[in-house]
């Protein structure tokens, strides 16, 4: 890690120049490097002191952003969405660095400045930190609020997983990484064709089931064209995505929420599939094979046949799988890990579930929208 003096941005502000985790950062001189804190498929993230405010921030560098039009659009979409949200449980974008010079060719990297949180849920799950039922319920409550905030704005996150949930020592939770999020405008549904892989991503199959690039390399074990081309991290991916449904809904996020809650109790991934087929088999081992009438959401004949040919399995009893979980938590998980997307609980329904209802009723709506329905901004529901 090193730092040295820099030049000026095109806005005339002095810049500083440092290398962290092998990546050079050129940012406004008000930011002073603290340390590298993470890296994902897209960029390197560092923590920094903001000498103008005295606070701390996280800076994510997305290098060479204009080399690929698909990636560039994705980053633009992420920025636009982040600028839209002001929500306790969605990460706040504080600043975007201006281009380093007025010369267009010099504008190659994007630096996004976020509020800084201390860690992410992936790290907590793999640490020795004890997680009580109360901890878990508080995380779940905040996760549902964040998801409700996204969904009520017509946005599907599409990549919910523990490493995209940031946490503070006081248990605050914020959803981050809207890199794959999409707005749904005219109808509830989006097209699965949107789910193309991140082109510049390095594959990370070991960590969390990988992203798009890893998927492209996977052999198609069914010999069909059905199970191709999806990107949402495999281990948290809803069955309808793998079953080649051409439409996806907010329910894909709710499947991921079910996987995440289970992982908080298990302290390991529920469905660590090695490929699409293995992923579906692991799901069937726990949720049971769905009866044919439950598969009417699968439009493709080949995918339906694949499911019908699967060896029949009964659903496992979640009480045995998660002996430390309360009855309410088990009930919530059972209503989330449902094959049929339309029968899966929505974020609003989940926030009304006894598992988190007490937390919800303890909290006043900061938007003063206390009515029979819930406040779309903060997900407040009257007790």
Name the site residues for ligand ATP (rule: CB under 6 A).
Answer: 37-38, 40-43, 45, 58, 60, 91, 114, 116-117, 120, 163-164, 166, 176-177, 179, 211
Nearest to 3 by CA among 21, 17, 15: 17
Q: In what order do the strands lie in the sheet with 14-20?
A: 2-8, 14-20, 23-28
Q: Which stretch binds Mg ion (CB under 5 A): 39-47, 195-203, 289-297, 329-337?
A: 39-47
**Looking at 50, 159, 208, 253, which residue is catalytic?**
159
Is the Cβ of residue 91 or residue 254 nearer to Mg ion in the bound state? Answer: 91
Q: From CA 144, how far away is CA 332, in angstroms rounded? A: 12
* Phi, psi of 156, deg, nearest 5: -105, 130
H runs (alpha helix) in 223-346:
239-242, 251-266, 276-287, 301-309, 318-321, 327-336
| Three-state DSSP string of 4-49 | EEEEECCCCCEEEEEEECCEEEEEECCEEEEEEEEECCCCEEEEEE
Specify the residue for token string 């799950």.
125
Is the Cβ of residue 142 or residue 244 nearer to ligand ATP in the bound state? Answer: 142
Residue 177 makes contact with Mg ion by CB under 5 A: yes
Residue 377 makes contact with Mg ion by CB under 5 A: no
Site string for Mg ion, 253-272 (x = CB under 5 A): --------------------
Q: Is 159 assigned a catalytic role?
A: yes
Q: From CA 225, how far away is CA 234, in angstroms rounded? A: 18
85 contact choice in Mg ion, ligand ATP, none (CB below 5 to 8 Å, kind-dependent): none
Residue 40 makes contact with Mg ion by CB under 5 A: yes
Q: From CA 138, how far away is CA 173, in angstroms rounded? A: 9
Residue nearest to Mg ion (CB): 177
CB of 68 to Mg ion, least distance (A): 19
Q: From CA 151, how far away is CA 17, in angstroms rounded? A: 39
165 contact choice in ligand ATP, Mg ion, none (CB below 5 to 8 Å, kind-dependent): none
Is the Cβ of residue 178 or residue 251 nearer to ligand ATP in the bound state? Answer: 178
CB of 111 to ligand ATP, least distance (A): 13
CB of 114 to ligand ATP, least distance (A): 4
Residue 273 makes contact with Mg ion by CB under 5 A: no
Identify whether the C-beta of residue 309 lies closer than 8 Å to the C-beta of residue 325: no
- The residues assigned a catalytic role are 159
Footprint of Mg ion (CB under 5 A): 40, 164, 177
């Amino acid at each position: 890690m090193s730092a040295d003096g820099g030049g000026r941005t095109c806005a005339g502000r002095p810049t500083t120049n440092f290398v962290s985790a092998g990546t050079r950062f050129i940012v406004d001189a008000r930011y002073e490097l603290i340390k590298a804190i993470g890296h994902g498929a897209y960029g390197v993230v560092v923590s920094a002191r903001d000498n103008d405010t005295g606070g701390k921030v996280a800076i994510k560098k997305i290098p060479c952003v204009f080399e690929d039009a698909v990636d560039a659009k994705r980053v633009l979409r992420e920025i636009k969405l982040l600028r839209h949200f002001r929500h306790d449980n969605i990460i706040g974008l504080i600043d975007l660095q201006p281009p380093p010079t007025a010369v267009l060719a010099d504008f190659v990297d994007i630096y996004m400045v976020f509020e800084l949180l201390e860690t992410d849920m992936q790290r907590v799950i793999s640490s020795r930190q004890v997680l009580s039922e109360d901890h878990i319920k508080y995380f779940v409550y905040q996760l549902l609020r964040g998801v409700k905030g996204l969904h009520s704005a017509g946005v599907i996150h599409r990549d919910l997983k523990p490493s995209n949930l940031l946490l503070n020592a006081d248990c605050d939770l914020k959803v981050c990484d809207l890199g794959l999020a999409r707005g749904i405008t005219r109808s509830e549904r989006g097209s699965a064709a949107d789910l193309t892989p991140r082109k510049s991503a390095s594959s990370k199959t070991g960590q969390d089931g990988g992203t798009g690039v890893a998927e492209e390399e996977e052999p198609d074990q069914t010999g069909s064209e059905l199970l191709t081309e999806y990107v949402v991290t495999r281990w948290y991916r809803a069955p309808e995505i793998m079953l080649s449904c051409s439409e996806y809904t907010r329910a894909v996020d709710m499947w991921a929420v079910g996987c995440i809650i289970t992982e908080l109790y298990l302290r390991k991934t529920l469905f660590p599939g090695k490929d699409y087929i293995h992923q579906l088999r692991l799901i069937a081992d726990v949720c049971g094979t769905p009866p044919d009438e439950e598969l009417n959401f699968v439009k493709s004949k080949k995918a339906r046949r694949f499911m019908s040919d699967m060896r029949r399995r009964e659903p496992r009893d979640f009480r045995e799988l998660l002996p430390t979980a309360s009855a309410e938590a088990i009930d919530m998980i059972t209503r989330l890990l449902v094959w049929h997307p339309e029968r899966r609980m929505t974020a609003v329904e989940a926030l009304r579930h006894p598992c988190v209802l007490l937390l919800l009723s303890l909290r006043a709506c900061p938007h003063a929208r206390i009515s029979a329905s819930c406040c779309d901004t903060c997900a407040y529901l009257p007790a």
